[in-house]
Amino acid sequence: MARLYPDAHCELDFTSPLELLVATILSAQCTDKRVNLVTPKLFARYPSAADYASADREELEGLIRSTGFYRSKANSILGLGRKLCDEYGGEVPGDLDDLVRLPGVGRKTANVVLGNAFGVPGLTVDTHFGRLVRRFGWTEETDPVKVEHAIGGLFPPKDWTLLSHRLIWHGRRICHSRRPACGACELARWCPSFGEGPTDADAAAALVRNGPFS
DNA sequence: ATCCCGAGGG
DNA sequence: CCCTCTGGAT
């Protein structure tokens, strides 16, 4: 997979931790492409946390409407701006525990920001990530936090961020939720979930050992 | 478990 | 028309 996706990366457009944080909140149940359509105007209108804190709700909703769930997302961003100003001097904290306490920010979003804006290794366990690692036989867990810990034990931290992007890219392009394109998958021969492919426990380990992921 | 609430694909 | 899509909060 290192060969398949040598430079997998975050596809959200951003130039600062704050921009990435907001873009990631907007990306919930929405494609990155659509988020990137609205963020240029959004970031120009609200350059700082204080600008979000004092934003007009209706105007903010209008700017992010096409990303879906715009009312709750606007709520999160408004609260986010306030909390960043009140408790963090207007700066985005570079710490998982602090990030997760911000409105609209769960563990997945926090790890995206840590990994891509702060250079802190993090596994971003979203629906793709979880589905793939289960199909690969790397874990049976379904709880995202348990998945994160299980997979974290298989790879060194320095690989976590890139691994996350590679899994997500592969999930989007090939290993779909409904009809995975196993015929086009170069990993099928190692995949325990592939039709007549290897189903023994070694197959999962082979996927890790063969290093296509790290 | 359910709500939030938009767009595109099959 | 139904389903899905890089969630999070209640």
Q: What is the pLDDT of residues A173-194, one digit of tens each?
A: 889 888 888 888 888 888 888 8
A69 CB closer than 7 A to any strand B atom: yes
Determine the Cα–Cα distance for residues A113 and A126; give it in Å rounded to an integer.
14
Residue nearest to nucleotide C8 (CA to C1'): A104
pLDDT for the residue numbered A2: 67
A56 or A207, which is more confident? A56
Q: How far apart are the first and last CA of chain A?
A: 8
The percent of chain A in helix, strand and coil, each rounded to the nearest 5, is 60, 0, 40
Contacts 24+ apart (CB under 8 A), A175-184: A175/A128, A175/A131, A175/A132, A175/A135, A177/A127, A177/A131, A180/A135
Each residue's pLDDT tens digit, A141-157: 888 999 999 999 999 99
pLDDT for the residue numbered A160: 93
Selecting among A32, A33, A83, A126, the annotated active-site residue is A126
C1' nearest to CA of A127: which nucleotide?
Answer: C6
Check the annotation: does A30 bind a ligand: no
DSSP annotation of A101 reads: T
A68 CB closer than 7 A to any strand B atom: yes
pLDDT at A214 over 50: no
pTM of the entire predicted model: 0.91
pLDDT for the residue numbered A69: 93
pLDDT for the residue numbered A186: 87
pLDDT for the residue numbered A201: 63
Average pLDDT, chain A: 89
Q: Decide: A24 and A99 in contact? Cβ < 8 Å.
A: no
Average pLDDT, stretch A8-35? 93
Selecting among A95, A108, A146, A202, the annotated active-site residue is A108
Q: DSSP per residue over A158-206, as a string?
A: GGHHHHHHHHHHHHHHTS-SSS--GGG-TTGGG-TTSTTS--SHHHHHH
Contacts 24+ apart (CB under 8 A), A43-47: A43/A15, A43/A19, A46/A81
Angle, helices A144-152 vs A127-135, to 10°: value is 60
pLDDT at A3 over 80: no
**Which structure tokens are listed for A2?**
């290192």
Average pLDDT, stretch A26-36? 91
Chain A window 14-43: residues with CB closer than 7 Å to nucleic chain B are 29-30, 34
pLDDT for the residue numbered A180: 86
pLDDT at A212 over 70: no
Within 7 Å of a protein beta carbon, the nucleotides of strand B are 4-7
A75 CB closer than 7 A to any strand B atom: no
pLDDT for the residue numbered A23: 95
Each residue's pLDDT tens digit, A104-152: 999 999 999 999 999 999 999 999 999 999 999 999 888 899 999 999 9
Determine the Cα–Cα distance for residues A159 and A165; give it in Å rounded to an integer.
10
C1' nearest to CA of A69: which nucleotide?
Answer: B5
Within 7 Å of a protein beta carbon, the nucleotides of strand C are 3-9
Does the annotation count A108 as an active-site position? yes
